[in-house]
Chains A and B, each alone.
Chain A
């Protein structure tokens, strides 16, 4: 997030898109609701009628994959009506003139045709967001323009054009100057306790800790020196989905999985399973026998986050200390101990000798101290400084107080760059054979692949079984009744679950959460078209059909609308 969670309550306008905030980030939804109760406008753009819509001033229900047209049209309207923040554009940004030209063709009329969102709604959303209009009450801020914040999540990024989508939101915020001030910004809501930290510490194919590119010779060699070698690998590695392909081809022979369950969470499960079975060595380090663990050669028992010491970085870049609450069961060990032991033994097997100890640390504090040496954005942190409220990166030296808001006064790169974007449609479109769109996501009571929450008594009591949300018309077309069995088929596979007939999904779209091992949504999702930059799979759109298992009726071909 460019801004803070606590600032949301003071926003004048909040624009939520591609985020089911109330279910996936409930505590952030509380901040949004507080803002709304104080008179802020809430705009929600989503294909599904997510719970936050109940609190929204404006709900733009765009067909899956067409939201890009709406964003571009909003900017088109802002320029046409003179709502853009020209002073901000002139002082703080570059590339505007080139960018401006690309918006001409994206009229609200065209967006309306593509997305099904009425022109008037697009224009109203543009006006409210650009000017930070309130529904009622007095703004917490002075100035002619209110403060508008964008919140987004995987609905934006899990797309074959996810990078374009994020750049579009950044363009939108820059066009209105809604960035670099409190209660504004472009705010991705991150899904897992330490997903921000796992990225910050360099568990990505293309960057070393602190987002230092693997291809940057100077920075890479500096890290190498700290680690006691001359150089380190400088080529971008394989992403999860690419690695599965490489495994199938025999190029990847060994995989070490720490706390992850690709059999449930990666797209096209059949292909994932086929790949994992081919490995010469699959090591799974986890707290439970996950679906992936059953294919492993070696399982290593890990301590859960409730049982260990260390730091987590949250979605607003706040690094916080976690403390052990319980004792790890049996012989389970913290992941850092296990990884250190493997690395140390591997050195010995490979006959590598190091001048200084690189793997066996006495405590997490010692690891963190080394981490801060190679991670400039964490450089000013240590465990002692994190007591209490933690620190927010960038925190570059020991006097630095941390950074609550990014891009204040100037952007990290200097001037904010407008990146022209063209609207691209999802890779797999519905057709005669597979006429419906499947969107995957989460529900309130479960978390990711369900390994933890499905073993929690109270949470599993509320939602013990999976279901697929189907629009009444789509259900009627195959004579499926509420709570009855239904089969979902895609080109990759099929799953059977129970139907939940609901108008929360638009006609032509179905929604299935990926928590249920009995109905694993990723049997259906596609892995052939990834976002070219971020390599994110398109979990939010793939083509499917429904079948009534009793009568064998299938979703009919779509009728052409005239």
Chain B
């Protein structure tokens, strides 16, 4: 789905018919040749074009031949017309595109052997497809700024090809407009206002710019130097934060998450995520994670598991600056903990009745878990004293 496409249901379906590479293609009025081609699995090389963003037409890689047009025309901005005949691949287009890539790599280091993006870099892909080992022009690096001013992403300007996808996603989708083109000619680069630190800009660290960047100009900090694209295991799941339910994919190496990103087939979020979803997963491996069932020291003493008696401090846990769970709890095995809970619940039900027990389920647990939890209360204990944080 793109900015220009809509989900219109009520409008009457009107279709245009055109031919792309000899294939007859139907499309809606207002769509571009690029959109019509992609919808029919016809792949046109592209760098600045992104299906979720407006058309920029800057990279020229997506040029196609249109019957009756004297010159190759960029397909990303070309409106479909009824009866149009398009060619996306031929020797002339190949040479045109090869020259464009040649110019790109005249100012883009070809150090793919150490680059984190190698394997998913779009420029690398097209250089390979067009058989470019090095530039035939004089190599000159106009942009050398390296900005690692935040723990979310690194901006390495030497890899930037000025496609402007990051600028467009920040403005058109996120609405932050934290970055834009600054300077002219060789000075041109993507910048925050006055080239200040990212944190002082309007940036909300959603990382959607990193997601749409075709090269290594924007890379997540968490993955730098930790693995090559083809070594990573990828697992698709649903984000655990808010109720939007974004689909995302974790890239892991040796069981460690290197980064998270959206996938283009996410039914809710497409290729977009927010800062929590994209960067907030490292809590899972925090050393404070609970790793064993535990009993409070006074309970453990009563059961003869510890030698020293203990009483719960009167001071609120909120007042303790850095509370340490081991000061008040001792680890036990699962059987001890589960039997104790079942014992005490049974005693309470027998002595005070089922309505003396309360359950708080969780809006962060799965449907299956919440279902079983409410069943425990209703069937196992016999009460409807059962609530969760929907109200909070």
Contacts and interface: CB of A to CB of B under 8 A. Distances in A.
B268 A298 contact: no
Contacts of B325: 289, 293-294, 299
Tell which of A27, A36, A256 has the most Cβ of chain B within 10 Å.
Answer: A27
A44 interface: no
B145 interface: no
A455 B364 contact: no
A158 B391 contact: yes
Interface of B: 1, 3, 6-12, 150-152, 172-175, 199, 204-206, 221, 235-247, 250, 252, 255, 257, 265, 267-269, 272-277, 279-286, 288-296, 299, 312, 316-318, 320, 323, 325, 328-329, 334, 337-346, 348-352, 354-376, 378-392
B318 A299 contact: no
Contacts of B206: 26
A253 B356 CA distance: 5
Contact of B369 (A38, A258, A289, A451): A258
B271 to A, nearest CB: 10
A143 interface: yes
A128 B288 CA distance: 52
A193 B290 contact: no
Contacts of B362: 194, 198, 258-260, 335
A368 B380 CA distance: 19
A321 interface: yes
A253 to B, nearest CB: 4
Given A194-B367, A204-B387, A37 B3 contact: yes
Contacts of B392: 240, 265-266, 448, 537, 539
Interface stretch (A69-77, A86-94, A343-351): A343-351
Give 9 closest A-B pairs by Cβ, nearest first: A330-B291, A314-B245, A310-B366, A259-B362, A237-B384, A26-B274, A190-B243, A345-B342, A349-B346
A312 B369 contact: no
A340 interface: yes
Contact of B267 (A287, A291, A338, A389): A389
Interface stretch (A109-117, A206-214, A549-557): A206-214
B257 A325 contact: yes
A38 B3 contact: yes
A296 interface: yes
Contacts of A54: 175
B118 to A, nearest CB: 24
A453 B245 contact: no
B350 to A, nearest CB: 8
Contact of B283 (A273, A342, A455): A455
Given A201-B370, A332-B289, A367-B368, A255 B279 contact: no
Contact of B337 (A258, A263, A300): A300
B275 A33 contact: no
A308 interface: yes
A28 B323 CA distance: 37
A346 B205 contact: no
A301 B290 contact: yes
A322 B240 CA distance: 9
B284 A306 contact: yes
Contacts of A307: 284
A193 B357 contact: no
Tell which of B10, B272, B273 has the most Cβ of chain A within 10 Å.
Answer: B10
Interface of A is mostly: mixed
Contact of A262 (B255, B318, B360, B361): B360
B284 A197 contact: no
Contacts of A238: 355, 358, 385, 387
Interface stretch (A2-10, A168-176, A409-417): A2-10
A342 B242 contact: no
B204 A444 contact: yes
Interface stretch (A97-105, A275-283, A421-429, A465-473): A275-283
Nearest to B278: A458
Nearest to A189: B243
B239 A447 contact: no
B343 A196 contact: no
Contacts of B273: 27
Contact of B285 (A262, A265, A326): A326
Contacts of B238: 193, 312, 314, 320-322
A300 B338 CA distance: 9
Contacts of B10: 141-143, 181-182
Contacts of B265: 388
30 contacts: A7-B7, A10-B8, A27-B246, A30-B272, A54-B175, A191-B363, A196-B243, A197-B370, A208-B378, A236-B384, A238-B355, A239-B387, A239-B391, A240-B388, A260-B388, A265-B389, A289-B290, A289-B323, A289-B325, A299-B293, A301-B292, A313-B367, A318-B268, A326-B285, A331-B293, A341-B338, A349-B346, A367-B371, A453-B283, A461-B150
A4 to B, nearest CB: 8
Contacts of B388: 195, 198-199, 203-204, 240, 260
